[in-house]
Amino acid sequence: MKAALLEQVGAPLAIHDIAIGQPAPHEVLVRTAAVGLCHSDLHMMQGTYPLPLPAVLGHEVSGVVEAVGSHVSGLRPGDHVVGCLSVYCGHCPVCVSGHQVLCQDPEVKMPPGKASRLTLAGNPVSQVLCETGDRWTTTLSKSST
């Protein structure tokens, strides 16, 4: 797939063909219909919010679920979805106290150093949430039921 990669802080995004893996147990594969870059992405491009490079930016996405991991409930292929950078479980003590942005449930947030589903020439590519300007993304999914 083609994706716009941030390869160096302060440099323009570069278009590359990258590979994407199948979703892990708590992930979904989404065929992206639309995605936007926002000010958070600009901070990453400027180095204000550091992240491992190269990286695919964009985290406000809409699309259609193509595949789901074995532990995903509440979503199935064909579902239309939207996603954003703020993920939370909705039931831990932090979430129920009204501080969802601080949720650290490992089932909804990929831990630092976790293997990337994206690769370029066999090397890992970081991902904020979705593939900017292209058609696919994998993201963590947690049913809030």
The model's pLDDT over 9-59, given as tens digits with 9 standing for 90+, comes to 999 999 999 898 888 787 788 888 888 888 888 898 999 988 889 998 887
User: For residue 139, what pLDDT band results from cuts at 50, 70 and 90?
Assistant: low
Q: What is the 3-state secondary structure (H, E, C) of the chain?
A: CEEEEECCCCCCCEEEECEECCCCCCEEEEEEEEEECCHHHHHHHHCCCCCCCCEECCCEEEEEEEEECCCCCCCCCCCEEEECCCCCCCCCHHHHCCCHHHCCCCCCCCCCCCCCCEEECCEEEEECCCCCCCCEEEEECCCCC
Total domains in the chain come to 1
Residue 65 lies in a domain: yes
Residue 145 lies in a domain: no
How high is the pLDDT of residue 47? 92
Task: Return the CATH number at 42.
Answer: 3.90.180.10
Tell me, yes or no, if the pTM score tops 0.75. Answer: no
